[in-house]
Amino acid sequence: MKILGLTGGSGTGKSAAAAAFAALGCAVIDADAAYRTLCDTCIPMLKKIQSVFSDVLYPDGKLNRKKLGAMVFSDPDKLLRLNAITHPYIRQAAQEAFDRYKQEGCVLCIYDAPVLFESGMDTLCDCTCAVLAERETRIARIMGRDAITREYAALRIDAQPDDAFYRARCDYLIQNDADLDILYAQVRQIYDDILR
């Protein structure tokens, strides 16, 4: 089984690209979805987060992701501290999923991870691909998707690596500023190249 690490900043359209790969029959592991599940179920991780970032849990013990996000997206040191806590748990969940898909005979598995390189998960991938989009496109997408202010959307983007970071590290790039047909064509080209 080949593993393609799919990455890129918030609002670039990683989910749309992942869906395009899924439509071609690829298995997809969503690191953000795994993180959200862990935020609801992984007591050891939540206790570590609470010990570093006090008062970020709801009364039911689940993580207030919006409150925590406001803390970490405005402070790179806090973001690094959060990632140091969460990445090992996300990595373990991904590895279990990789093993499961391999046993099922999957040919190409997509690991959709916004912090693929920062988490070290690129080392488990055969190749990597970044989805890129213009800043204003990203801001509009984030505001529409998450119902947040322009300022908060910009903060989120500014806390993430720029396009040059991905261009220097990735085997493939997808520019996602146009319609879905263009996105799907780029995905199909990458799919064919990997499985050639």
pTM (2 d.p.): 0.85
pLDDT at residue 54 tops 90: no
Region of residue 106 (left: phi > 0; alpha: psi -120 to 50; beta: else): beta
Confidence (pLDDT) at 133: 97
For 123, which DSSP code?
A: G
Is the residue at 134 inside a domain?
yes
Residues paired with 174 in a beta bridge: 131
- In the chain, what's the furthest Cα-to-Cα distance? 52
Confidence (pLDDT) at 76: 84
Q: At what angle do helices 135-146 and 150-158 cross, to 10 degrees?
A: 120
Confidence (pLDDT) at 166: 98
The domain that holds 169 is classified in CATH as 3.40.50.300
Least confident interval from 30-39, 137-146, 162-171, 185-194: 30-39
pLDDT at residue 26 tops 90: yes
Confidence (pLDDT) at 68: 93
Is the residue at 44 inside a domain?
yes
Average pLDDT taken over every residue of the chain = 94
At 139, the amino acid letter reads I
Distance separating alpha carbons of residues 101 and 68, to the nearest angstrom: 32
Give the SS3 label for residue 127: strand
Give the SS3 label for residue 128: strand
| Number of domains present in the structure of the chain | 1
Mean pLDDT for 160-172 is: 96
Q: Would you say 69 and 83 are in contact if contact means Cβ atoms under 8 Å apart? A: no
Is the residue at 95 inside a domain?
yes
For the stretch 128-155, pLDDT in tens is 999 999 999 999 999 999 999 999 999 9
Strand ranges for the chain from DSSP E:
2-7, 27-30, 108-112, 127-132, 172-175
Is the residue at 10 inside a domain?
yes
Distance separating alpha carbons of residues 38 and 36, to the nearest angstrom: 5
Domain that holds residue 93: 2-191
Distance separating alpha carbons of residues 9 and 130, to the nearest angstrom: 9
Is the residue at 196 inside a domain?
no
CA 49 to chain CA mean position, Å: 19
> Per the structure block, which two tokens stand in for 85?
């806590």
Is the residue at 50 inside a domain?
yes
